């Protein structure tokens, strides 16, 4: 199909069309809240599933299956008449024509909601981008899991201690929640799983190392939370290097800002994110972190019917001069309010300004410790971990998934043994052939007789 054609097979509708680009936390919440409010909704996402990113680290460390934290979009909306879905990558907006251009065709909108999230930020360091692993999607998490397992298998085939260590060592760049949670889970694997799976390897030689450029871990949380996280990680024998930048990584050697070099074939980059961009909008709407500048109603600056919510939006307020934190709560709350504001705008009613209600933040370290900064209290240790577990079980979508995760966690908690250490490598899709009709003119005649 030619790229300039309109996306086919969308039913005719006299309702106003809301095109939602991106079915993450923000996009999904918005659609669920807009259902039944008299709109035709078209969701475009480059994947056919919604994913719960906060638990990706458990997929990467073989604690959960990807399907426990991902949900097929079509299943969620299969009974909703006014919601249509297409797997499509949105590429450009043509505001003058109220149209979006995607890799499967064009589409008209009355309202366009941009909720395409963010991606890993390598800050222009191509060598690091080429050689490190990232953790933003379920495929990234599976790749981390496969790489670690493959490197352990390769370590078994080596005889030189330096080479074995290079396969076993894992570097994590970035000491935010992602780096801290991943390091904690890997340390538990090193303690409880790898010695049983790989008795021939000397695991005392395996190093799990965090490199953080700032002077503390979990910089977005309180000083107490940072201190507890550091203490817990040290207890798990994770090496934490603060005030340290990774300057080069060629796939074998990590070169640090203090000129030291560490040998490792597995480095995970979790040191920053950058909002996903889109063509067709003026440069002035792009703010810090490539995020789209919006007003207090999440309207993209200068546009009456284009909105941005979640990680790809930047709303500057007195309380949040650098924009709201790029977390699930902010995305969900913006989507919630926008669903009501859209209806108000449509009816000529003054919409309500967005005000972020910060419910706190948490990070877990290992299998039974966590830190939590709540609005009125700071918690750490086992009690924080219980809270973390309940919050995440509550937030994840689907009763089946909640039950599966709960059973998995209970099993792992008592047995210290996840059972998902399979090295399944995907085969590439079949190559699509040029279009040729399957019915020849001769066959047509025979069939007609
Ligand atoms: C590893 C990790 C752990 C995290 N842990 C936490 C946590 O514990 N607590 C917390 O609050 N937050 C956490 N976050 C952040 C949280 O996941 C994000 O803030 C949240 O997902 C933002 O929601 P969103 O809808 O803006 O974007 P996303 O949820 O990222 O959704 C974006 C969607 O857009 C789609 N998309 C992207 N580009 C295109 C395109 N061009 N065309 C079509 N579709 C596109 C993507 O496929 C995706 O479905 C974590 C993030 C990561 C990566």
Residue 331 beta carbon below 6 angstroms from any ligand 1 atom: yes
pLDDT at 424: 80
The verdict on 136 and 189 lying in the same domain is yes
Do residues 132 and 182 share a domain?
Answer: yes
What is the CATH number for 320? Answer: 3.50.50.60
- Please give the structure tokens belonging to residue 426: 């995907």
- CA separation for the pair 135, 114 (Å, rounded): 22
Contact present, 168 and 287 (Cβ < 8 Å): no
In a domain, 378, yes or no: no
402 lines ligand 1 (CB under 6 A): no
Asked whether 120 lines ligand 1 (CB < 6 A), one says no
Q: Is the CB of 335 under 6 A from ligand 1?
A: no
Pick from 346, 376, 409: which residue ends a domain?
346
Number of domains into which the chain is organized: 2
246 and 255 Cβ atoms separated by less than 8 Å = yes
Between helix 25-34 and helix 328-346 the angle, nearest 10°, is 30
pLDDT the model gives residue 260: 95
Most ligand 1 atoms within 8 A of CB, residue of 100, 117, 289 to mutate: 117
- The CA distance from 338 to 113, in Å, is 10
The CB-side HSE value for 358 (13 A sphere, CA atoms) comes to: 16
159 and 193, same domain (yes or no): yes
User: Can you tell me whether residue 230 is helix, strand or coil?
Assistant: helix
DSSP assignment of 163-221: HHHHHH-EEEE--SHHHHHHHHHHHHIIIIIHHHH-TTS-GGG--EEEE-SSSSSSTTS
121 CB less than 6 Å from ligand 1? no
259 and 161 belong to one structural domain: yes
Same domain, 308 and 240: no
Residue 37 included in any domain: yes
Q: Does a structural domain hold residue 81?
A: no
* CA atoms of 420 and 68, how far apart (whole Å): 12
**Atom 38 of ligand 1, nearest CA residue:** 116
> Does residue 421 sit within a domain?
no
- pTM of the prediction? 0.93
For 214, the token pair is 């700032």
| Cα separation, 353 vs 295, whole angstroms | 9
Distances (CA, A) of 339 to 50, 247, 393: 19, 44, 25
Residue of minimum CA distance from atom 37 in ligand 1: 116
The parent domain of residue 185 ranges over 126-271
Residue 7 included in any domain = no
Residues 262 and 137 in one domain: yes
Q: How far is the CA of 118 from the centre of ligand 1 (A)?
A: 6
In a domain, 341, yes or no: yes
**Alpha helices by DSSP H, 272-422:** 328-346, 382-395, 399-415
State the Cα torsion 402-405-406-411 to the nearest 10°: 160
Q: Could you tell me the two tokens for 366?
A: 């290992």
Asked whether residue 247 falls in the same domain as residue 178, the answer is yes
Q: Is residue 211 part of a domain?
A: yes
Do 105 and 213 have their domain in common?
A: no
- What backbone phi and psi angles, to 5 degrees, belong to 13? -150, 145
Phi first, then psi: what are they for 204, rounded to 5°?
A: -65, -15
364 lines ligand 1 (CB under 6 A): no
Residue 442: per-residue pLDDT: 65
Whether the CB-CB separation of 88 and 278 falls below 8 Å is answered with no
Q: Whose CA is nearest to atom 53 of ligand 1?
A: 136
**CA 194 – CA 65 distance, rounded (Å):** 19
Would you state the pLDDT for residue 448? 52
CATH of the domain at 159: 3.50.50.100
For residue 265, give both structure tokens.
Answer: 């074939």
Both 242 and 159 in one domain: the answer is yes
Q: Do 195 and 247 lie in a common domain?
A: yes
Burial degree of 162 (CB within 10 A; 0-12, 13-18, 19+): exposed
Please check whether residues 116 and 25 belong to one and the same domain. Answer: yes
* Nearest CA among 183, 180, 190 for reference residue 229: 180
Cα 317 to averaged position of ligand 1 atoms, centre (Å): 22
Q: Which two tokens stand for residue 177?
A: 């929640």
Interval between CA 293 and ligand 1 midpoint (Å)? 18
Whether residue 265 sits in one domain with residue 225? yes
Question: 177-188 and 223-235 helices cross at what angle (nearest 10)?
Answer: 20
> How many CB atoms neighbour CB 323 within 10 A?
21
Q: How far is CA 417 from the centre of its chain?
A: 26
Residue 335 lies in a domain: yes
Which one-letter DSSP state was computed for residue 55?
G
Nearest CA to ligand 1 atom 23: 25
Q: What is the residue-level pLDDT of the chain in tens, covering all 449 positions?
A: 444 799 999 998 999 999 999 999 999 999 999 999 999 999 999 999 999 999 999 999 988 888 888 889 999 999 899 999 999 999 999 999 999 999 999 999 999 999 999 999 999 999 999 999 999 999 999 999 999 999 999 999 999 999 999 999 999 999 999 999 999 999 999 999 999 999 999 999 999 999 999 999 999 999 999 999 999 999 999 999 999 999 999 999 999 999 999 999 999 999 999 999 999 999 999 999 999 999 999 999 999 999 999 999 999 999 999 999 999 999 999 999 999 999 999 999 999 999 999 999 999 999 899 999 999 999 999 999 999 999 998 888 766 778 888 887 787 777 767 667 788 877 888 887 777 778 766 665 555 54
Domain boundary among 219, 253, 271: 271
How many Å lie between the centroid of ligand 1 and the Cα of residue 22?
Answer: 9
Picking from 271, 303, 320, the residue at the C-terminal end of a domain is 271
Evaluate: CB of 116 within 6 angstroms of ligand 1: yes
């Amino acid at each position: 199909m030619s790229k300039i054609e309109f996306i086919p097979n969308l039913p005719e509708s006299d309702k106003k069309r809301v095109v939602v680009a991106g079915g993450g936390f923000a996009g999904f919440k918005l659609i669920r809240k807009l259902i039944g409010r008299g709109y035709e909704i078209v969701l475009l996402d480059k994947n056919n599933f919604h994913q719960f990113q906060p638990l990706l680290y458990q997929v990467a460390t073989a604690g959960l299956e990807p399907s426990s934290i991902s949900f097929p979009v079509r299943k969620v909306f299969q009974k909703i008449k006014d919601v249509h879905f297409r797997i499509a990558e949105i590429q450009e907006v043509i505001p003058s024509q109220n149209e979006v251009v995607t890799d499967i065709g064009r589409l008209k909108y009355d309202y366009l909601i941009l909720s395409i999230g963010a991606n890993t930020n390598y800050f222009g360091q191509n060598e690091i981008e080429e050689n490190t692993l990232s953790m933003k999607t379920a495929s990234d998490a599976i790749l981390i899991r496969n790489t670690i397992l493959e490197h352990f298998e390769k370590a078994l085939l080596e005889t030189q201690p330096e080479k074995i260590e290079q396969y076993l060592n894992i570097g994590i760049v970035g000491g935010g929640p992602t780096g801290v949670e991943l390091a904690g889970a890997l340390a538990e694997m090193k303690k409880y799983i790898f010695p049983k799976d790989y008795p021939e390897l000397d695991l005392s030689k395996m190093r799990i190392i965090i490199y953080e450029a700032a002077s503390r871990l979990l910089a977005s949380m309180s000083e107490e939370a940072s201190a507890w996280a550091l203490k817990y990680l040290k207890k798990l024998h994770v090496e934490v290097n603060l005030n340290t930048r990774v300057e080069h990584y060629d796939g074998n050697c990590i070169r640090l800002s203090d000129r030291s070099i560490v040998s490792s074939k597995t480095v995970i980059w979790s040191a920053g994110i950058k909002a996903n961009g889109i063509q067709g909008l003026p440069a002035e709407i792009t703010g810090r972190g490539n995020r789209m500048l919006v007003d207090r109603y999440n309207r993209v600056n200068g546009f009456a019917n284009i909105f941005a919510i979640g990680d790809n939006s930047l709303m500057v307020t007195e309380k949040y001069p650098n924009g709201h934190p790029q977390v699930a709560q902010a995305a969900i709350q913006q989507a919630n309010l926008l669903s009501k504001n859209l209806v108000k705008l449509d009816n000529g009613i003054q919409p309500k300004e967005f005000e972020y209600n910060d419910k706190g933040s948490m990070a877990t370290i290992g299998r039974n410790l966590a830190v939590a900064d709540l609005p009125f209290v700071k918690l750490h240790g086992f009690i924080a971990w219980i809270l973390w577990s309940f919050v995440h079980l509550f937030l994840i979508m689907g009763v089946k998934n909640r039950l599966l995760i709960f059973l998995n966690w209970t099993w792992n908690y008592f047995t210290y043994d996840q059972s998902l250490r399979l090295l399944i490598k995907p085969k590439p899709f079949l190559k699509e052939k040029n279009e040729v009709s399957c019915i020849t003119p001769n066959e047509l005649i025979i069939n007609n007789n």
